[in-house]
Structure formats: structure tokens, C-alpha cells
Amino acid sequence: MSERFLRRALILWAIAALAAGIVASLKGADFAANWIWGVGAAPVIAALGVSIARDLLAGRMGVDAVALISMAAALVLGANLVAVVVAVMYAGGTVLEDFAVARAERELKALVGRAPRIAHRRRDQTVEEILAEDIRQDDVVLVKAGEIVPVDGILLSPVASLDESALTGEPIPVIRSAGEGVRSGAVNAGETFEMRTTATAVESTYAGIVRLVTAAQTAKAPFIRMADRYALLLLPVTLVLAGGAWLVSGDALRGLAVLVASTPCPLILAAPVAFIAGVSRAAKQGILMKGGGPIEALARVHTVLFDKTGTLTVGGARLVAVETAPGETADEVLRLAASLEQASQHTVAAAIVSAARARGLGLEIPQSVRETLGSGVEGTIGDKTVRAGSATLVYGNRRQEEWATRVSRRASWRAALCVFVSKDDRVIGALLLADELRRETPRALQALRAAGVSRMVMVTGDRAEAAETMAAALDLDAVLSERSPSEKVEAVANEQRQHPAMMVGDGINDAPALAAAGVGVAMGARGATASSEAAEVVILVDRLDRVADAVKIARRTRSIARQSIVAGMALSGVAMVAAAFGALTPVAAAITQEGIDVLVILNALRALFSGERTSPRSLAISPEALREEHDTLDQGLNRLREITDALDDASGERAISLITEANALVQRSVVVHERRDEASVYPRLSAQLTDPSALAAMSRAHREIDHLARLLLRLSTGLRAEDADRYLVRDAQRIIESIEALVRLHNAQEEDIYEQAMPT
């Protein structure tokens, strides 16, 4: 029989006995009523005695001791009604506490279920299917397309394309060459390859991740009720005051009244009720907290460690730029590539197709498609032969043009994947795909600072260049890159030794670190994974700023719980003094204590609300609508970036056409949007802000954008082909680049201000 079941049975038993005794008393059967109340209290006393004995053996002392003494004393003195009332209060408090602090079971189903079960071992000219656990070191193993690498090894095939996101968190597949190491847990994203094993299944990387999660969870200390911290003070004071009242008055019932008045139901109830309220409020915002323990841990967080991919970033390949050969257009390059990629199941292909559809490009059905896994795709679009993939696939043995070399260099420093596109053997452009910051990431980090977090660290398995490039745009205190799951655990442990630390991640590779942290927070909007199982807190919506909300809710909840405890103790103290002087009988003391309980519960329920004042006025436009407008505007900004790049090689009529296009785009899109905001949105927005002067800088940005737009208009008006010398092109590039960068920054700041102005 579980302890949780026993506690529920005890509260039902005590309530039934109290009700039955009241019925018997009303019918005049006082002896029977007293006997029923005693029978109702006895099991609760026995169970509590066993619990206290177990705690004492473990070196702990809680507030439960006061409840045990008061119930036992009531039975000894024949005040069985008092005993059963206290029993109901105590048993009810423990059930509430069970509900608040019980943690969801941390099953490793997602982690263990993903582990490879079978492998294909080659013996001479035959291939046999065996259990992964039967693989031995130096075996030759075949890994087929789409299979998970069963053990660690060395690649024997010339090349392999591997999805290592389960290990590093990096979503873009990596290419491994013969002689390089291959780790278990990676997925074969290319063609079948051979490898020579260097470890057994038990000794391999993926099995190590499972062991790390299990060990970290086992090492966690159990959550101790906040109320227990006050027990060492309450217990001796209660006993001394009750004993003194008895000795001075000579009336044992006066001492019992003191004990009943001191029954720590406010302490027993305060934290669980506040924690339940906090958990409920968090759930409304898409934050799942697994009980009361994570709330207290979150409230004490000093340091936050973030994984990069999928946590600080969107967690997948996104089209960040379309580079074109001279004379080609970005839309045509993307349209042909996306039409072809419709026939591929690769994650990069899905990103390309999605980007083309977002631009409203009409795609064609490809014919005669042939995919070289890990390299790219080729086929026929209409009457054109199109290839999309690596430079090797598209160029073959030919030398790259100057523009393509420049594109490869840009892809390198932007930590992006480069997909070249050719039409009838002529390379016409390249697509750059990379991970990118979540839109709300800067705001989320600022909110964590405001919530009281002192230190923030990025810890990632990604390359140093990519990690530091991403971190440069954020308010971080440290960047730890190229960290394996075990090294992530070590980094978390180091921070935890210094201050209470929280780890935020989303991948299987983050599970050990999440389990090892003081509190683990999983970005679980994309489905249940091992990280969600290992974490105490799961963010159910795909929003990083909910992490800051979780910290705020936890700190407010803990503060309210502490207020309730202190207020309950103070009121109980007053009742104890009154009982000591004979102003309260034991039953009156029990009723008084019930009143205190109600006040404590009502105060604890304040954790259901944010505590922040809200304004009844509405904004001129919702943050969601504003983001949609900015998304539309981003399409134009992306085109401005493409125009800037295309001007590198443009001259004459081509340069004039590009500059004219940029001016038209700025005048009809950017300028119209900013002027509308200044005229109609900002006046209403200023009324929502506690400091309306915060919009002064935003209005200054509007004026600067308008100024740059006027400069571009003047520059582009009346241009002739012979005017497009390198100095004019350079000036145009500078203006267009300034507008694009300033509008992007301005939009991000605008969204931050809108989020702050929204009623909570």
C-alpha cells in the first residue's frame, strides 16, 4: 500500500468519524459520539507516529510533532472531539501537500525507447542481423539510411551524412569522412555506410546518456517542506507554554487548549496551497511544473544555463539568404530549388520548400528526380535540368566563379549550410540556411535579469564560432561550446556548486544536464522527449520568455507561502497566549485554529494571480498583429539585403534597376509602416506605459528611418545608366544596408515594448 493511498484513506476515515460522531451527539448518544471520534483520530495518530519515528531516524524533525502531541493529549484527557478535529485538519493538509509536491514520474521511455535494438554486422561477404548488445569491438557494422548508429566506431566508407542532433543539438546534418569517429545515437541521413566499432553498446555514447540521466536523478535530494524549517522554533515554545499554563492554572485542559491552538495547520497548509495555486497559474501560461519542489528551486535560482539549438534559437534550418549569380533573380533561384526539393524528405529540403511557399512562389512538379543522400538532388523542372546541393554535386570538377567563392566564405563565417543551385549545368545561385535566434530570446533574457537571475551561460555542443556568433547578440555572462552531454553535466555541476542553478534545454542530449541541475526546464512544445522526462519544469508553448514567467511565478508563490506561514504562526501565537490565560477552551481553540486556516488558505490563493496591475485600455494593435505586420515587412527587408549583395557586381542599367527597386520597396512598405505607427499607434501605446518617455527613442528611430528613406529617394531619382559609377553604387549600398539593419532592430524593440504594455 503506497503512502499516498494511506493518507487519502486516513482523511476519509477521519471525516467520516467526525460526521458520524456529530450525528450521534445530536441524537443524545454522547458516549458513542466520543467513542467514534476517538476511533476516527486513532489511525491518524498511529500513522503520524510512524512517520515521525522514521524522520527522527533520518535525523529530521518536522512540525508534525506538535500535531501528534496535541491529538494524543486530547485522547488522554478524553477530549476526543478535539482530537478528531485536529486529525481532520492534519490529514487534509498532508493530502494537499501530496497533491502539490508529488513529482511526475521520470520515466526514461523516450530515451530508452530510442536506443537501437538491432545492428547489421558484416562477416566476410554476408551481412547478419544481430542484437545491438551482441556487437563487439572491431566488428564491421553496416548502418542503413535512416537507421540510428548502434555503437561508437570509425567510418570505413568514403563519406557519411549524419544527423547528430540527439547528441549535439545541432539540427543540420554533418558530413563525416573515412577515418573519422561516428557516435552512437546519430541518425544516418545519407546512404548506407560501413564502420568499424570501437566500443560495445553498453560502453557507447548513447548508453552513457541514459546512465547520466539515471544517476543525476538518483542523486537528487527529496523536497523538504518549507514549514519544517520553523518546527525547531515552534515545538519547544509550544511545549513550554502549554506546560506552564497547566502548572500555573492546575487545569490540564488549559494546557491542551494551548496545544490545539498551536496545531501547525497553517504551516501544513500554507506552502501546499500556495504551491498548488502557483502550479495552476503556471499551467495557464503553458508552463508545467511537476509539483511544489520545482517552485521552491526556481525561486532560489541564481544562475541559468541555456542550450543553444532549439532553446535560444528556433532549432532548425531556416533560409537566411539567397545569393545569386550575375543576371539572376533570387525568386527564380529559390523557386527552382524548392520545386526540386519537393521530392526530397530531407529536413533542409523541407526548409527550402517552406521558404518558397512563404514568398508565394509557384512551384512545379519535378520529373526524373535522383537524390544523392548527403549531397543533394537533381531532376527536371519543365525543360530544364536542375541540381541543388553541395558544391561538389553542382560544380563537379569545375572551378567556382568569384561570386560563388564569396558565397562559400559568407556561409562559413555565418555558420550556415550552403546549397548551390544550377540550371542546365550553369550555377545560378546559392541558398544559405542556418539556425537563428528566437524572436523573443533577447526579451526573455532581459526578463530573467529583471526577475533576479544574476548569471546566464550558454552551454552547447555546437562549434565555438557558431556559438559565439549567436551569443554576441545576447546578454550572456559566458559561452561554453563544443560540450558533450557529460561535459554539459560537469558545467551544470560546477555552477550548481557555487549558486542554485537552472538548466534550460530541449534535446535528448540535454536530458542529463537537465536532471543534474537544481531545476531543469525543458522546451517541450515540439513533443515529449527525454528532456521533458528529465526536467522538473516543461514549457508547453514554443516561447522562451515563459522561462522568465516561471521564475516570476515561483518567486511570488514562495513569497506568498512564506507570508502565510509567518502570519499563521503569529495568529497561532496570539491564540496560544489567549488559551494559556484561559480565554479559549480546547474546542474554542480548535475553532479559532480553523479560522486561522481559512485566512492562511485565502492568502495562499493569491498565488493564482500575477499581482500586477492591469490597464483596462486596449492597445491600438495587438502584439500578435504587430508581429504579423513585421513578418510581412521582413520579406521586404530580406529583398533589400539581396539587393545590397547584388550591387557588389552590378553596373549600368542593372545597378540602376536594383537601386530603383530598393527605393520603391522602402517608400511603399517601410515608410508607410513607420509613419502609421508614429501617427496612430504610439499615441495610444504611450498611455499604457508607466514611463511614456520610453517611446522617445522609438520616435527618434522613426525619424532616422524617414531621413534615410529620403536620401535613397534623392539618390535614385532621375538616375541614368552612365551615373552608376562605383561611388554611387557604394553610397546606395550603405543607405540600403542602414535602412535594413535599423528597421530590423527597431521592429525587435517595438515588439519588446508591446509585450511590456500588454495587460497580464
Catalytic residue IDs? 307
Evaluate whether 149 touches 188 at the Cβ level (below 8 Å).
yes
The sign of the torsion formed by the CA atoms of 329, 333, 339, 342 equals: negative
DSSP alpha helix (H) spans, 342-456: 347-358, 391-395, 402-413, 441-450
Maximal CA-CA distance, the chain: 114
Beta-strand relationship, 519-523 and 501-505? parallel
> Which residue type sits at 284?
K
- As a whole number of Å, the CA-based R_g of the chain is 34
Is residue 267 within 8 Å of residue 64, measured between CB atoms? no
What are 561's three cell numbers? 507561502
User: How, if at all, do strands 537-539 and 519-523 pair?
Assistant: parallel
Decide: residue 745, CB within 10 A, 0-12 exposed, 13-18 middle, 19+ buried.
Answer: exposed
The CB density around residue 308, as the number of other CB atoms within 10 Å, is: 25
- Residue 308 has what DSSP assignment? I
- Which single residue is written with the C-alpha cell 496560544? 576
Beta strands across the sheet bearing 519-523? 287-289, 537-539, 519-523, 501-505, 303-306, 455-459, 478-480
How far is residue 177's CA from residue 155's CA, in Å, rounded to a whole number? 7
| Single-letter residue type at 678 | E
Half-sphere exposure (CA, 13 Å, Cβ side) for 348? 29
Closest CA to 489 of 468, 511, 504, 507: 511
3-state secondary structure 623-659: HHHHHHHHHHHHHHHHHHHHHHHHCCCCCHHHHHHHH
Of the candidates 351, 354, 387, the one whose C-alpha atom is nearest the C-alpha of residue 368 is 387
DSSP state of 307: -
Q: Which amino acid is at 126?
A: T
Cβ atoms of residues 355 and 390 within 8 Å: no
Cβ within 8 Å of residue 354, ≥6 positions away: none
Spatial separation of the C-alpha atoms in residues 248 and 424, rounded to whole Å: 106
Q: How far apart are CA 623 and CA 243, in angstroms?
A: 64
Enumerate residues 6+ apart whose C-beta is below 8 A from 651. 724, 729
Place of cell 494511506: 6
Contacts of 177 (CB under 8 A, 6+ apart): 155, 158, 159
Q: Rounded distance, CA 652 to CA 660, Å?
A: 12
* Separation CA 636–CA 157 (nearest Å): 45
Rounded distance between C-alpha atoms, residue 661 and residue 635, angstroms: 14
> Nearest to residue 592, comparing CAs of 67, 77, 85?
85
Q: Residue 63 corresponds to which amino acid?
A: V
Cell of 187: 541518425
Going by the DSSP 8-state scheme, the letter that residue 680 receives in this structure is I
3-state secondary structure of 273: helix
Cell numbers found for residue 686? 504611450
Residue type, 23: V
* Separation of CA 233 from chain center: 39
Helix (H, G, I), strand (E, B) or coil at 571: helix
DSSP state of 343: T
